């Protein structure tokens, strides 16, 4: 037997006898249209679009109002974000707690808001990661938010009921600064959307103040104060045409680019360093897009991307480049295929009187200015009413104090409060409010001192009432108050512009090779002729062409050349060290002189000790080509010529076997290209000079130890070696003698300059001839040099001065260096012609 389910009905309930069915036919299309319109209006008005007056959406306005009502001011402690969310959700915003918390998080993010309105404590997220849950974070109002909620208790705005009519909330905030323009807005409604760019607070306030003082101002005048958006993350805005369109019509677009610089990130590599990213773009997104573009072969020339961002230095994204690629061309590819360049579309849609409108800059400012004029007028009326009421009470107290004994007698003799009130009103001609106030006073407030305070308060109230009436009676005075308050807010909360505005920065088209290049830079650096320089301070650099070195008027200490080699950008050269090693150096690895214009600054190069793997105590002597015969000279007078027979599978090798090791061991002091028609020159510490034909030295293999070059005494040593051409009319010898234990005021050095052709050649392994007569007290030569002139002297301050072809006394001694520099005259001018024309065969040195 089937059993009935518990609670089921056994039969249909009986309907009343007079019941009539009434079925209403409804058109589904009409019902859907009506319902959808109601939904759309709800989304537009109550959710997605900001109010043009305070720039806030309803949820944002409710968050700030509730936090202000809870007393979460900047000078008080933070509270749990969950508590704020709960208060907002329970009293004003009956929606999801996640929606409220997400809105509060955005108000606290400095990379999203130009002037953050919430001071967050904890993990409020980043451009790449979301925030922590509301139970983990804390919040309070930021200082700028106080300007939005100021004067709410003075009837400056209308209050409307909440969703269940138990509480009230402001329909709009007073907004002491143009929040909509300063912080921007974004939202998607039904059938429309808004996307407004942030601006600089000081600039917007300046434009608003100009409009307050000049209501008929034009857009051109306002744009002098507000030239364009100012994004929280900085960066650069390229192209101002779209910004002007947006300011005129409410719609436009502009491009934002990261702030980048080309730097030498390692001794051998250049890199693109990113310090600012476009608005709402995070470093992790950029790194991911760069890797994707490299894998897809859209971007070439990148070896690695490193994120060095930290709290101390801020954003720093290093994009390392492969050698041989043009940094500007790689950057152009990155702008095209990665978020290092983004487009921002402006769509200024906001609510005006409850209706969505697309507005330009002038309309936005006028709506805000009208709002502030209304707020200040209502606040002034409220304060005027309060002060009039207080003055009325004070005047009543002053009347009562004049006959205080009678007032006390009337009160004591009255049986009820109402009777005392009536008698006071009749006898002293008081109003009911004045009589009630007197009845509520304590006796101690009716002293003589209180009378003086009341009279002072009366005078102050009368002054304030006159001032408030003046504001209400004059539109110009009202506008002056609004302008002054805007100025105070800008001074308190404003800061400098972060985003640079560029009229245009069009990057040229990038071509793959030089043969297909038109006007733009090639992606890969072409194998063009160039120079590689080694300065006397150990800086390595290369030029971008083979232009002869022009002489700058004021030089840096790194600009004195020790060695230079003519080569090509994709070639290789050798770097010879004092330990007799040669290190293969790809020219592309050497930093190029930026903006090479014939007067390079070698300080832009890289230190040789950082560029090369040198042992302790080992120094770089000079540079040499790998395809020519070179000559080396050592401190102990050994000379060697070397055939260009170098291993192809090694990066370094020995070019001479040196005698001895350690402190007393031999070392290389000079190196240079040595054709057969050149002469090899030695200059020793004891002022001996020897030059002999290079052809007299047979080229040897890499491991050979060389042959005797110059004959030295026991205490002598070679201080200079290098190839030269005595037949060159500009070949000179410069020697500088040193005086030991010179007395104060006495010259420490003497200098002599002599044409090389005046010294006769001698055979190899001889002692040579004297090149400078040493005077009493001079212990020997401190410096010596021979080569293609004119020689130049570079002072400690960087002033380069050309030396004459001959200098010194007739007896062969030198003259004091200070006297020689005085005789040379002023610093060499950059406009003077230069006789120096270096060539691959005869490079010059300093």
Other CB atoms within 10 Å distance of the CB of residue 15: 9
Cα separations in angstroms, 544 against 139, 262, 568, 594: 56, 16, 9, 8
Give dist(CA 473, CA 470) in Å, integer: 5
282 is written with which tokens? Answer: 């995070």
DSSP classification of residue 58: H
What residue has token string 């044409």? 755
CA angle 824, 827, 831 (to 5 degrees): 120
Other CB atoms within 10 Å distance of the CB of residue 680: 27
Q: Pick from 65, 169, 69: which is nearest to 107 by CA?
A: 65
Of the candidates 39, 41, 101, 136, the residue annotated as catalytic is 136
Give dist(CA 713, CA 633) in Å, integer: 17
- Is residue 279 part of the annotated active site? The answer reads no
Q: What is the DSSP string of 265-286?
A: -SSS-EEEEEEE--TT--HHHH
What residue has token string 């002007």? 244
Give dist(CA 340, CA 336) in Å, integer: 8
What phi and psi, each to the nearest 5 degrees, are found at residue 325? Answer: -115, 140
Give dist(CA 751, CA 613) in Å, integer: 36
Q: Pick from 751, 767, 616, 626: which is nearest to 689 by CA?
A: 767
What residue has token string 């002598």? 716
77 is written with which tokens? Answer: 């402690």
Give dist(CA 238, CA 231) in Å, integer: 13
Those residues with Cβ within 8 angstroms of residue 313's Cβ, 6 or more apart along the chain or in another chain: none
Q: What is the DSSP string of 65-111?
A: HHHHHTT--TTS--EEHHHHHHHHHHHT--S-HHHHHHHHHHHH-TT
Checking DSSP bridges between strand 302-307 and strand 317-321, what pairing results, if any?
antiparallel
What phi and psi, each to the nearest 5 degrees, are found at residue 100? Answer: -65, -45
Checking DSSP bridges between strand 500-502 and strand 236-238, what pairing results, if any?
parallel
Please state the separation of Cα 27 from the chain's center in Å.
62
- Helices 81-91, 97-108: inter-axial angle, 10-degree rounding: 130
Those residues with Cβ within 8 angstroms of residue 360's Cβ, 6 or more apart along the chain or in another chain: 219, 246, 247, 248, 249, 250, 348
3-state secondary structure of 504: coil
521 is written with which tokens? Answer: 């830079």
Instruction: Count how many residues are written for the chain.
Output: 846
Q: What is the dihedral of CA 763, 764, 766, 771, to 10 degrees?
A: 80
Give dist(CA 492, CA 714) in Å, integer: 79
Whether the bond into 790 is cis, omega within 30 of 0: yes
What positions carry a catalytic annotation? 136
């Amino acid at each position: 037997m089937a059993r009935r389910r518990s609670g089921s009905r056994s039969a249909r309930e009986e309907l009343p006898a007079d019941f009539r069915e009434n079925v209403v036919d409804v058109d589904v299309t009409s019902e859907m249209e009506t319902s959808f319109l109601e939904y759309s209006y709800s989304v537009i008005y109550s959710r997605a679009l900001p109010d043009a007056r305070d720039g806030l959406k309803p949820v944002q306005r409710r968050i700030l109002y509730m936090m202000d009502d809870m007393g979460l001011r900047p000078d008080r402690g933070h509270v749990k974000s969950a508590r704020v969310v709960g208060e907002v959700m329970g009293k004003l915003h009956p929606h999801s707690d996640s929606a409220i918390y997400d809105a509060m998080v955005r108000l606290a993010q400095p990379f999203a808001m130009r002037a953050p309105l919430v001071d967050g404590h904890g993990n409020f997220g980043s451009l790449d990661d979301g925030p922590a849950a509301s139970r983990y974070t804390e919040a309070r109002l930021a200082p700028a938010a106080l300007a939005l909620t100021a004067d709410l208790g003075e009837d400056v705005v209308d209050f409307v009921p909440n969703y269940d009519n138990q509480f009230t909330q402001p329909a709009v905030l007073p907004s002491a600064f143009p929040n909509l323009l300063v912080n921007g807005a974004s939202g998607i409604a039904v059938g429309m959307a808004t996307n407004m760019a942030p601006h600089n607070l000081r600039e917007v306030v300046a434009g608003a103040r100009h409009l307050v003082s000049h209501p008929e101002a034009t857009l051109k005048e306002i744009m002098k104060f507000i030239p364009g958006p100012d994004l929280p993350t900085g960066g650069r805005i390229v192209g101002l045409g779209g910004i002007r369109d947006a300011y005129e019509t409410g719609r436009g677009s502009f491009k934002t680019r990261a702030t980048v610089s080309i730097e030498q990130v390692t001794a051998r590599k250049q890199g693109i360093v990113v310090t600012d990213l476009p608005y709402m773009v995070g470093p992790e997104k950029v790194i991911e897009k760069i890797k994707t573009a490299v894998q897809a072969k859209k971007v070439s020339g990148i070896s690695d991307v490193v994120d060095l961002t930290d709290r101390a230095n801020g954003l720093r994204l290093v994009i390392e480049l492969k050698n041989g690629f043009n940094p500007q061309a790689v950057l152009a590819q990155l702008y095209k295929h990665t978020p290092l360049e983004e487009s921002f579309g402006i769509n200024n849609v906001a609510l005006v009187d409850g209706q969505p409108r697309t507005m330009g800059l002038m309309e936005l400012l006028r709506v805000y200015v009208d709002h502030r004029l209304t707020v200040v007028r209502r606040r002034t009326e409220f304060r005027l009413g309060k002060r009039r009421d207080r003055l009325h009470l004070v005047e009543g107290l002053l009347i009562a104090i004049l006959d205080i004994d009678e007032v006390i007698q009337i009160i004591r003799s009255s049986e009820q409060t109402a009777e005392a009130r009536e008698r006071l009103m009749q006898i002293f001609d008081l109003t009911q409010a004045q009589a009630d106030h007197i009845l509520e006073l304590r006796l101690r407030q009716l002293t003589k001192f209180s009378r003086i305070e009341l009279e002072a308060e009366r005078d102050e109230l009368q002054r304030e009432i006159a001032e408030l009436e003046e504001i209400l009676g004059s539109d110009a005075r009202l506008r002056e108050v609004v302008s002054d308050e805007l100025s105070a807010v800008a001074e308190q909360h404003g800061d400098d512009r972060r985003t640079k505005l560029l009229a245009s920065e069009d990057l040229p088209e990038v071509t793959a090779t030089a043969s297909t290049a038109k006007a733009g830079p090639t992606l890969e650096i072409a194998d063009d002729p160039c120079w590689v320089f080694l300065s006397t301070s150990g800086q390595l650099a290369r030029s971008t062409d083979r232009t002869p070195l022009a002489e700058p008027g004021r030089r840096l200490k790194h600009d004195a050349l020790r060695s230079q080699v003519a080569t090509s950008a994709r070639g290789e050269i050798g770097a010879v060290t004092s330990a007799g090693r040669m290190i293969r150096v790809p020219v592309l690895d050497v930093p190029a002189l930026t903006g090479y214009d014939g007067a390079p600054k070698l300080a832009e190069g890289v230190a040789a000790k950082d560029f090369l793997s040198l042992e302790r105590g080992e120094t770089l002597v000079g540079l040499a080509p790998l395809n020519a015969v070179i000559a080396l000279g050592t401190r102990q007078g050994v000379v060697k010529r070397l055939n260009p027979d170098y291993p192809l599978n090694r990066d370094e090798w020995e070019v001479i076997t040196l005698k001895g090791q350690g402190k007393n061991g031999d070392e290389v002091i000079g190196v240079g290209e040595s054709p057969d028609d050149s002469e090899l020159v030695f200059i020793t510490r004891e002022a001996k000079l020897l030059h002999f034909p290079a052809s007299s030295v047979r080229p040897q293999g890499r491991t050979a130890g060389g042959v005797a070059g110059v004959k030295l005494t026991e205490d002598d040593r070679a201080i200079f070696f290098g190839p030269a051409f005595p037949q060159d009319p500009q070949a000179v010898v410069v020697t500088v003698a040193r005086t030991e234990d010179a007395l104060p005021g006495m010259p420490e050095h003497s200098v002599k300059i002599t044409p090389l052709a005046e010294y006769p050649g001698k055979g190899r392994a001889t002692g040579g001839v004297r090149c400078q007569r040493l005077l009493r007290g001079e212990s020997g030569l401190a410096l010596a040099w021979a080569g293609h002139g004119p020689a130049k002297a570079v002072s400690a301050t960087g002033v380069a001065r050309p030396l004459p072809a001959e200098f010194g006394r007739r007896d062969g001694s030198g003259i004091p260096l200070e006297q020689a520099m005085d005789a040379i005259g002023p610093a060499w001018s950059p406009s003077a012609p230069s006789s120096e024309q270096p060539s691959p065969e005869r490079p010059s040195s300093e």
